[in-house]
Amino acid sequence: MEAIEFIKMSMETSKNMVMGMITDMKDAPLTQPTPKGGNHPLWVLGHLTYSEASLLDDVMLGETNPLAVTDANHYPAFDELATKFEEVRARTLTVLNGLTAADLDKPCKGCPPGSEDFLGTVGRCFSLIALHPAMHGGQVADARRAAGRKPVMG
């Protein structure tokens, strides 16, 4: 398997795992994952959407993240956010599909100083894009349990 195909597979797998759980929580998107709070499913959805756009635009391409919102009154509703996530993911895949394996070793245009080991190359950014949803899956799984839903597995 070539590197770009591996990245695509990893992106799809982590997305499907987490988005399935998030979508299941559409009727209870603000459910806290623990009695002491935490990141509820709507926050996770917004965070994943914003972060992927940021990694692609800010870090990789050296452009401005089009999803930067500082006023909470402008935060989108669940369905709008889910649609935006799919739009961001489609754009991410368009960029990835235009790359060669050699492009993965190219430096990012907007890597924050001091983050080169973590985000310094296009391949490192795509690796994080692929892993990031899975990193937040536990928060959504805990929120599902807090809402009385059965685990997805087991």
Query: pLDDT-derived band of residue 67, with 50, 70 and 90 as boundaries?
Result: confident
Does residue 152 belong to any structural domain of this protein? no
More confident residue, 27 or 70: 27
What is the secondary structure of the chain as a DSSP string?
--HHHHHHHHHHHHHHHHHHHHHHTTTSTT--SBTTB---HHHHHHHHHHHHHIIIIIIIS----TT----GGGPPPHHHHHHHHHHHHHHHHHHHHT--GGGGGSBPSSPPTT-HHHHSBHHHHHHHHHHHHHHHHHHHHHHHHHTTPPPS--
Alpha-carbon span 119 to 99, nearest angstrom: 17
Does residue 121 belong to any structural domain of this protein? yes
- As a dihedral over the C-alpha atoms of residue 24, residue 30, residue 35, residue 36, rounded to 10 degrees, the angle is 130
Q: How many CB atoms lie under 10 A from the CB of residue 34? A: 12
Mean pLDDT (whole number) for 20-41: 95
Does residue 68 belong to any structural domain of this protein? yes
Does residue 32 belong to any structural domain of this protein? yes
Note the pLDDT of residue 153: 78
Does residue 153 belong to any structural domain of this protein? no
Give the pair of three-digit tokens for residue 38. Answer: 């935490």
**Mean per-residue pLDDT over the chain, rounded:** 93
Indicate whether 72 pLDDT > 80. no
Note the pLDDT of residue 71: 73
Total domains in the chain come to 1
Alpha-carbon span 47 to 119, nearest angstrom: 18
Residue 112 belongs to domain with CATH number: 1.20.120.450
What is the secondary structure of 117-129 as a DSSP string?
HHHSBHHHHHHHH
Does residue 61 belong to any structural domain of this protein? yes
Does residue 40 belong to any structural domain of this protein? yes
Does residue 93 belong to any structural domain of this protein? yes
Alpha-carbon span 111 to 14, nearest angstrom: 24
Mean pLDDT (whole number) for 130-138: 95
Query: Model pTM greater than 0.75?
Result: yes
Range of the domain at 108: 3-146
